[in-house]
Amino acid sequence: MRKIIIDTDPGIDDAAAIAIAMFSRELDVQLITTVAGNVSLDKTTRNALRLMSFWGADVPVAAGADRPLVGPVYDAAEAHGESGMEGFDFEEITVKPLKLHAVEAMRRVLLQSDEKITLVPIGPLTNIALLFSLYPEVKEKVEEIVLMGGAFTRGNITPLAEFNIFADPEAADMVFRSGLPIVMCGLELARSALITGEMVAKIRDLNPTGQMVYSLFEHYRGGNMQSGQRMYDSTAVCYLLAPELYTVQECYVGVEVASPLTRGTTVCDLEGFWNKQPNVKVCTAIDPQGFAGLFLRSLAGAQGVPENPTAATWLHQEK
């Protein structure tokens, strides 16, 4: 099993991605860290705890940054609802977040692990940038960073910028300059691999997770039930499970932080104009049928309690 840490801003599409990761037999989720993004940190953290409580899962949750490094706070409540996960009536939360800050929790898990860990950021990159800035020594324990963010064509929050990058461009710039192997699952993937209401209805009656995801879907504004919803964050998790479904091109990617017109844009030099050392594997395409099949099979398999055998439950005792 590949050890991963998910950094997230749940978020309806985050919820589906977390479900796929949690129940996968190939991924061993060590820790979930939350960040302000789709909605405020208190809400994204509450939503992560709701999911863990819903599954009776023992993967620890640690709250991180409640704002970007430099710029103003943006949110995407219009797509996810005021709570960030509108549409499903979650039961009482039965698990507590760690006392540790997300960055401290990530540091301890990485340094304690006997093998490298893959970071899977599916929200703004504030926590990841803080981690590398405060504790650069952890980089040698990072296998790779497989993130949902960016675009090489057009944006979804400004003409060119994607939300996760736009929400904290300085953090994204730091992460893209980290020197670590990065796989960028940008907007183009979810735009082509749409998941329709009809598809998700197939899993609605299969298990409680299918019912939960379907209910959230009905309220998600990342598309619509007829033409299909954009499951942005699941494209990052599914890369870990089936990279053969993706077309990937290594190139140099820079993050614009200064221009008022293009702030938050991931400038992907796919043609190599600048002759710069490639720093990112950009996913330029995905097999839509293959992704939809994997997405649905993964959620259909979300039965019972997720097993993440080496989840960092010891963090609950850490001060």
Q: Return the residue of 34, 38, 126, 209 that touches ligand RIB, per CB under 6 A.
A: 38
- Least gap, CB of 37 to ligand RIB (angstroms): 5
Q: Is 170 in the site for ligand RIB (CB under 6 A)?
A: no
Q: Return the residue of 54, 132, 214, 232 that touches ligand RIB, per CB under 6 A.
A: 232
Q: Identify the burial level of 289 via C-beta atoms within 10 angstroms of its C-beta, where 0-12 means exposed, 13-18 middle and 19 or more buried.
A: exposed
Q: Is 162 in the site for ligand RIB (CB under 6 A)?
A: yes
Q: Is 75 in the site for Ca ion (CB under 5 A)?
A: no
- Least gap, CB of 266 to ligand RIB (angstroms): 11
For residues 8 to 27, the per-residue mask of contacts with Ca ion, x marking binding by CB under 5 A and - elsewhere, is -x-x--x-------------
Q: Is 122 in the site for Ca ion (CB under 5 A)?
A: yes
- 76 binds, options Ca ion, ligand RIB, none, Cβ within 5 to 8 A by partner type: ligand RIB
Segment 168-227, which members bind Ca ion (CB under 5 A)? none
- Least gap, CB of 80 to ligand RIB (angstroms): 7
- Least gap, CB of 29 to Ca ion (angstroms): 16
Interacting residue ranges for Ca ion, rule: CB under 5 A: 9, 11, 14, 122-123, 233
Residues lying near ligand RIB in the complex (CB under 6 A) are found at 9, 11, 13-14, 37-38, 76, 122-123, 148, 156, 162-164, 232-233
